[in-house]
Chain A
Amino acid sequence: MTLLSVQNLHAYYKTEAYGISRTVRAVDGVSFDLFPNEIYGVAGESSCGKTTLIKVISGSIRPPLKAIEGSVNYNFGDYQADMLKISQEELRRNIRWKRISYVMQGSMSVLNPVRKVIKTFQDIVDTHERITDKKEFLEKTRAHINRLGLPTDVLNAYPHQLSGGMRQRVAIALATVFQPALIIADEPTTALDVVVQRGVLHMIKDIQAASKNTVLLVTHDMAVHANVADRVMIMYAGRIVEEAPTEVIFNTPLHPYTQHLINSLPMIGEKSMKASLKGSPPNLADPPTGCRFHPRCPYVMDECRTVVPELVSVKERHRVACHLVKEASL
């Protein structure tokens, strides 16, 4: 059973001002499946389309963003939804927070700075499931907070009184009040230091292990994926370049971009020279023809400049979009 099936998704930002129209192809032909009970990592640099992809699959498509082509279908078991056709009312009532929730990067902007944490819980629960018995709500919230290993004191604190790591964990607690089937975590630990990052990621892993739901973890930090994700997808300039189970992608990366990402990571205990890729990430308003990585690729061939490489399965659960790999496997 698949939880989410994304097929050939194209989502562009279309703007028009003074007669000049501009199209930014942020997501350009992306297909993947999410299964229950897994942590799926999405990696890529800034402006590779990670955030746009999340917007589309969470149903937050607002102009100038437009889904041009493709399909995004959810199967929650008792409830099916087509994200590209669903009404705002239905999204609000049946999906947001109950089945799909979202953990963002800056937890300070999620929590209301002038209200105690418990009030924020109250607002969210009341919006989705009318609180009739306040005592019961308080008890349930305390139990939820305890289950996640947080002290109940945090409920009576204002956000600024908490440390960055604790705030982020409160944001995760908020995102999991309704036991959603899918938790989307967008760079949840980017602003945190390593020790706190470790604590927050442990919490995400524990929640996932306990409730057997799906976590979509978006971060540019490959080392985080190595430690947390079950499967990893690498995006480059709006397309998937490689997708495989974590072990496979780190041990036998096939796409030159993935290879670079993994080989250029500095590690404690190893001082060998690490190089940067030449050039810079492409402008998505005017992406290169053929393979979008070709201007920076060390193994570029003529074919790469004109023909778009398809994402093909090279092994079970291992997909790569590269002309080099396709030839080797034939």
Chain B
Amino acid sequence: MSTSPKLLDVQHVTVEFHIGGLLGGALLTAVNDVSFSLESDKPEIFTLAGESGSGKTTLSRLLLRDLEPTKGKVLFEGRDVSTIRKRSEFIEFIKKVQPVFQNPFETFSPLRRVEAYLFDTVKNFRMASNRREAAGIVDDALRSVGLSLDEVRQRYPHELSGGQIQRVSVARALISQPKLILADEPVSMVDASLRMEIVNLFQKLRDERGVSVIYITHDLATAYYISDRIAIMLRGYIVESGPVEDVLERPAHPYTQLLKESVPEPTPSKRESWAKHIELGVTEIKEYGRIGCKFAGRCPKVMDICRQADPPDVQVGRQTVKCYLYSEHVEKTEAGTQP
């Protein structure tokens, strides 16, 4: 075990939003008591997966210090990010944590040449003293995503393909030599035939540059393909987390089971299990306000206790599951292991 502080340590974070008017309105808990951490000496790809409205993006805004948690703490290299006040400290922090966004055509202004963004980043972080040095840094970043400054020079966003421009977006994030990249749905706007090149790129960055990646997605198939660990989110909670092979091959939480079953497989002969009918929620707000397990309204194995209080986090094999189904099981094993 290393004694150095963790790269990222999210401790019991809760984010509440007030929705509706001044009078009345409601409290919406977008992120609810979420904890996870990334080790500093072991780069990995950590996936946050879940449906729209599950709190994935709120959590990523929290990690970028774009939002303050209502409760809990986010520690980056041992420091609570909410104590960062000075601009110089913020620059030091954001140098190490860089975002990659969903739609590369919105990330870059259509009226500016893409290289301008790369040079701006070098300038903002004061990484070079002259233009030639800056060009070297930019070229280096572009080369690690399989492009070069000569290919990109003088080009506008529309002159590059979706895959290329998303790679430029990753290159921009790499300029400051970050330790952590936050990629929010980085492939959902990229064409199918180019998608895998972005996904493979994250793997390469982890292995060759030692960069950790938080990959936010609703696409479980690519998540399985690239990540080391995964956390499944539902209405603000992490309902199941663990090594991606365990969570997606043998899902324990009924919601993860439903998710996995719903991913259409590209094999026509396996149509039957997917064609089984399912219940869908009518509105989203109802599920947020539910007391107890948020999945209780749709869960096939629902028990009375699920509607009364939040389920506990239970260790099942290598995964952590937030479900009453397994809480009994844990008491038994604990009793069994006691001397």
Interface residue ranges, A against B (CB under 8 Å): 45-46, 151, 153-154, 161-166, 191-199, 202, 205, 220-224, 226-227, 246-247, 250-251, 260-262, 264-269, 271, 273-277, 280-281, 296
Contact = CB atoms under 8 A, between A and B. Distances in A.
A227 B271 contact: yes
Nearest to B260: A268
B193 A281 contact: yes
Contact of B164 (A163, A220, A280): A280
Given A226-B268, A268-B220, A276-B196, 9 more contacts: A198-B274, A221-B264, A222-B192, A222-B266, A224-B264, A227-B264, A227-B271, A280-B161, A281-B191
Nearest to A205: B275
Contact of A199 (B50, B161, B271, B278): B278
Interface string B256-289: 0011101111111101001101101111100000
B48 to A, nearest CB: 13
A266 B269 contact: no
B206 to A, nearest CB: 14
Q: For the side of the interface on B, what is the size category?
A: 35 or more
A250 B218 contact: no
Contacts of A281: 161, 191, 193
A318 to B, nearest CB: 15
A198 B268 contact: no
B200 to A, nearest CB: 7
A39 to B, nearest CB: 12
Contact of B281 (A45, A163, A265, A275): A163
Contacts of A261: 192-193
Contacts of A221: 192, 264
Interface in B32-88: 50-52
Interface in B215-274: 218, 220-222, 224-225, 248-249, 258-260, 262-269, 271, 274
B276 to A, nearest CB: 9
Contact of A277 (B193, B200, B225, B249): B193
Contacts, number: 145
B194 interface: yes
Contacts of B222: 266
A283 B256 CA distance: 41
Residue with the greatest number of chain A CB neighbours at <10 A, chosen from B162, B163, B193, B260: B193
Contacts of B249: 268-269
A227 B275 contact: yes
B224 A226 contact: no
Contact of A260 (B163, B193, B224): B193
A153 B284 CA distance: 15
B272 to A, nearest CB: 10
Contacts of B196: 264, 266, 274-276
A151 B280 CA distance: 11
Contact of A223 (B51, B162, B224, B263): B263
Nearest to B163: A280
Contacts of B266: 222-223, 226, 250, 262, 265, 267
A149 to B, nearest CB: 9
Interface string B271-309: 100110110111110000000000000000000000000
Contacts of B200: 273-276
A33 to B, nearest CB: 21
B163 A266 contact: no
Nearest to A246: B268
Contact of A226 (B51, B195, B225, B267): B267
B313 interface: no
B268 A45 contact: no
Contacts of B164: 280
B197 interface: yes
Residue with the greatest number of chain B CB neighbours at <10 A, chosen from A154, A194, A227, A251: A194
A269 B218 CA distance: 17
A190 to B, nearest CB: 9
A223 B264 contact: yes
Contact of B225 (A154, A274, A275): A274
